[in-house]
Structure 1
Amino acid sequence: MDFDFSDDQQQLRDAVRRWVDKGYTFERRRAIVAAGGFERAAYGELAELGLTALTVPEAHGGLGQGAIDAMVVMEELGRGIVLEPLAQAFVTAGVLAQYAPQELQAAWLPRIASGEVLVVLAQQERKARYRLDVCEAKAVVAANGYALTAIKNIVSAGDQADAFIVPAQLDGQIALFLVERAAADVSTRGYGTQDGSRAADLQLASTPATLITTDGLAALELAVDTAIAAACAYAVGVMDQTCAVTFDYLNQRRQFGVAIASFQALRHRAADMKMQLELARSMSYYASLKLGAPAEERRRALSRAKVQLGQSMRFVSQQAVQLSGGIGVTDEYIVSHYFKTLTQLEMSWGDTLHHLGEVSARMQDQAGVFA
Structure 2
Amino acid sequence: MDFDFTDDQEQLRDAVRKWVDKGYSFERRRATVKAGGFSRDAFREIAELGLCGLYIPEQYDGMGMGPVEGMVVMEELGRGIVLEPLNQSLIAGGVLSGYAPQAVKSAWLPKIASGEALVVLAYQERAARYRLDSCEAKAAPAPVAYTLTATKSIVPAGDQADAFMVPALLNGQLALFLVERSASGVSTQGYGTQDGSRAAEVTLQNAPATLITLDGLSALEHAVDIGIASACAEAVGVMDKTLAITAEYMNTRKQFGVAIASFQALRHRAADMKMQLELARSMSFYAALKLNAPAPERRAAMARAKYQLGNSMRFVGQQAVQLHGGIGVTDEYIVSHYFKKLTQLEMTFGDSLHHLGEVSERMQDTAGVFA
TM-score normalized by the length of structure 1: 0.99
How far apart are residue 257 of structure 1 and its match? Answer: 1.3
How far apart are residue 53 of structure 1 and its match? Answer: 1.4
Partner of 2:85: 85
| Separation of aligned partners in 2, 1:9 and 1:368 | 36
Moved over 2 A (4+): 368-371
- Superposed, 1:20-169 pairs within 5 Å as 20-169=20-169
| Separation of aligned partners in 1, 2:252 and 2:236 | 24
Residue 322 of structure 1 pairs with residue 322 of structure 2: yes
Partner of 1:268: 268
How far apart are residue 59 of structure 1 and its match? Answer: 1.2
| Separation of aligned partners in 2, 1:54 and 1:367 | 35
| Separation of aligned partners in 1, 2:147 and 2:241 | 46
Partner of 1:194: 194
| Separation of aligned partners in 2, 1:4 and 1:209 | 44
Partner of 1:4: 4
| Separation of aligned partners in 1, 2:93 and 2:10 | 23
| Separation of aligned partners in 2, 1:15 and 1:58 | 20
Supply the RMSD in Å over aligned alpha carbons.
0.5
| Separation of aligned partners in 2, 1:305 and 1:116 | 32
| Separation of aligned partners in 1, 2:164 and 2:257 | 58
| Separation of aligned partners in 1, 2:151 and 2:276 | 38
1:208 partner amino acid: P
For the residue of structure 2 that corresponds to 1:161, the secondary structure is: coil
* Cα deviation code 1:295-319 (max 9, x no counterpart): 0000000000000000000000000
For the residue of structure 1 that corresponds to 2:208, the secondary structure is: strand
Percent identity, aligned pairs only, is 74
| Separation of aligned partners in 2, 1:141 and 1:256 | 74
How far apart are residue 368 of structure 1 and its match? Answer: 3.5
| Separation of aligned partners in 1, 2:54 and 2:99 | 18
1:167 partner amino acid: P
For the residue of structure 2 that corresponds to 1:331, the secondary structure is: coil
| Separation of aligned partners in 2, 1:72 and 1:40 | 23
- Superposed, 1:185-264 pairs within 5 Å as 185-264=185-264
| Separation of aligned partners in 1, 2:269 and 2:208 | 55
Aligned length: 371
| Separation of aligned partners in 1, 2:197 and 2:82 | 9
How far apart are residue 290 of structure 1 and its match? Answer: 0.3
| Separation of aligned partners in 1, 2:223 and 2:314 | 25
2:80 partner amino acid: G
For the residue of structure 2 that corresponds to 1:292, the secondary structure is: coil
Partner of 2:294: 294
| Separation of aligned partners in 1, 2:86 and 2:184 | 27
How far apart are residue 370 of structure 1 and its match? Answer: 3.0
For the residue of structure 1 that corresponds to 2:53, the secondary structure is: coil
| Separation of aligned partners in 2, 1:5 and 1:297 | 24
For the residue of structure 2 that corresponds to 1:370, the secondary structure is: coil
2:121 partner amino acid: L
| Separation of aligned partners in 1, 2:182 and 2:311 | 41
How far apart are residue 276 of structure 1 and its match? Answer: 0.2
Farther-moved stretch of structure 1 (274-283 vs 48-57): 48-57
TM-score normalized by the length of structure 2: 0.99
For the residue of structure 2 that corresponds to 1:211, the secondary structure is: strand
